[in-house]
Structure 1
């Protein structure tokens, strides 16, 4: 009888040990299960960024992640997103993806809205339409919305500008901006940068040449359109300021090209000079109502720090060096202009 009891006790002990082992294995398996779902590598290298548009729901985000194969297991991502209560807290933006990123880290980034800013760097653009098109390729906001704001008198008046000169507040530089920045916030960022540029010293320089801040940029746009080389900008600025002081028409070819909206023109013919436009400086005295291009910072500084000279006329050099011959008198200018016209004809540049 004693032997039987020992055998029964041994069997029970084995059962307990087996049960404990199974529990441990089960807990270990559960731990591994949760670890892989939360902390295991999930994000792939298929995409560099996840773009979440304004107004997107979790279903929209899930569809993008699934369609673009952003994670290895979409079911695991969805489960983790629900567990972390991300589903009702979607934030738009551009999110940088790292190969092997875990669900927990990925979803946490999305929850906090820790998006990767856009590096928006630009020099100059001929027209606001070109600029809006450029921005819309880099950011969520579309070009038509950007143009609509810039063309709204009620909107731009808050910046002390009008629809003709509002483009001057956009200054070439490098900006770090959230991808989903609204048009309104975008223009306020541009305006803040514009205001920071216009220090008290620069405002005083503008006042000293009897120009408003927007007028400085308008003249700078003409200087920029005329000059290929920055070192000529102060000379050209001084020339145009001389004409303004004397009440002479600026007679700037870039203003004709802008008025006609034909930037393929290389030779401004007499028939173009009568184009009906407030930008035609062969007809109207003083500056045009707005810039003929986005002026560079160098051009704005050139106007503020213009060269004091006696020049009243300029024409491109006949050697096509993209530099200019400057003149103090009409007679001297006529000689320079004839040389350039002759060179154009010899090179069969008729338009």
Structure 2
């Protein structure tokens, strides 16, 4: 049987097509292969990494096996080769294709840091130092130096000026970048609340409202009590009474506070001892929540001038000293009884 040239060409075409189909199937099978990892991991792709560099990094980190199909896949599907530098979160159920799609998307792994309401600036700095994937730039700075790094005048008091919240970030984000976000968010919240404040309050500036909110934050964790606590302090200021609030004394004591306040502590002068000074302390004493900002701006309308813990997580409010002293004695009896039962 004579084989013509046209038949030879056709045979070559058929064989080439079969070969290409086989290669395509191998590439597709490889692309749908699951990664070798057995648990979630973070994978960092440095800037400037090329195709070969990516493959070597994946092999080095035991994410994939060395196979020629990897290079073929990137050539045949170039959209998967448009990977971006960053830190990504890989999971065991992910395929090679999904990995490359993730790297091409630029959707880096998200981390979170939570700043709790009622905490102080020094607490925040410690949290930032201990948080993963944050680039430290503020270690061992004074408050004036920190203010300058935030783009603020060096004399700006920073306590209370950062909004407590959970902040998401990507690997390599600097501590100063996160603080700038928290500062800007508090500025927005304070501005909004200041515009919504009740008339006739004893605050001349938003900073004074912020100071009051920080005191409210430290006095109660119960949302239903914030307005009452605010009313007590506003009533006292309007009557020319001292605030006489323990959290300000504690703040003024600094590192000398060991968990208890003595009578001597209450008699020791400091800029924050509201048993001695009149009016508000010079700065906030903590980072207040929005709920405390709103309470400071819109306190309940009451005649309360005193409050004391009730031993159950809340407080007893009083309009006069006699009633207050009765509530104090009841609290102390309850405390003694609890101590005896232990």
**Gaps in structure 2 of 5+ consecutive residues:** none
Q: 2:64 aligns with which of 72, 77, 88?
A: 72
Q: CA RMSD in A?
A: 4.4
Structure 1, unmatched stretches of 5+, are: 1-5
Q: 1:202 to 1:160 in 2, by over 3 A?
A: farther
Shift of 1:143: 6.7
**1:230 aligns to 2:228 (yes or no):** no
In the TM superposition, what are the counterparts of 1:253-332 in structure 2 within 5 Å?
253-258=246-251, 259-261=253-255, 265=259, 268-274=261-267, 277-317=270-310, 320-332=311-323
Aligned residues of 2:227 and 2:298 also touching (Cα < 8 A): yes
Q: Number of matched residues?
A: 334
Alignment partner of 1:197: what SS? helix
- State the partner residue of 1:3: none
TM-score (structure 1 length as normaliser): 0.72
- 1:237, CA displacement in angstroms? 0.6
Determine which of 38, 43, 48 is the counterpart of 1:46. 38
Correspondence 1:140-155 to 2 at 5 A = 140-141=133-134, 145=138, 148=141, 152-155=146-149
In 1, Cα distance between equivalents of 2:33 and 2:292: 52
Q: Report SS of the residue matched to 1:99.
A: coil
Which of the pair has more CA radius of gyration? 1
The 1:262–1:221 alpha-carbon spacing in structure 2 relative to 1, beyond 3 Å, is farther
How do 1:159-238 residues align onto structure 2 when only pairs under 5 Å count?
A: 162-165=156-159, 167-172=160-165, 175-198=167-190, 202-203=194-195, 205=197, 208-209=200-201, 210-238=203-231
Contact in 1 for aligned 2:133/2:173 (Cα 8 Å): yes
Q: Tell whether the 8 Å contact from 2:161 to 2:187 is kept in structure 1 after alignment.
A: no
How far does the alpha carbon of each residue in 1:200-242 deviate from its partner, in whole angstroms, 9 at most, with x for none? Answer: 5633517852242233232222212212422221111111122
Provide the C-alpha distance between the structure 2 equivalents of 1:17 and 1:86, rounded to a whole number of angstroms. 34
Name the CA distance, whole Å, in 2 between partners of 1:93 and 1:149.
32
Q: Which structure 2 residues correspond to residues 94-173 of structure 1 after superposition, within 5 A?
A: 94-95=88-89, 97=91, 99-103=93-97, 105-118=98-111, 123-134=116-127, 140-141=133-134, 145=138, 148=141, 152-156=146-150, 158=152, 162-165=156-159, 167-172=160-165
Q: Is the 8 Å Cα contact of residues 189 and 290 (structure 2) preserved in structure 1?
A: no
CA contact 2:138–2:175 (8 Å) conserved in 1: yes
TM-score, normalised by the number of residues in structure 2? 0.74
Give the Cα separation in 1 of the matches to 2:196 and 2:184.
19
Q: Give the deviation of 1:199 after TM superposition.
A: 5.0
Give me the whole-angstrom Cα distance separating, in 2, the residues matched to 1:191 and 1:235: 28
Taking the aligned partners of 2:58 and 2:147, their CA distance within structure 1 comes to 41
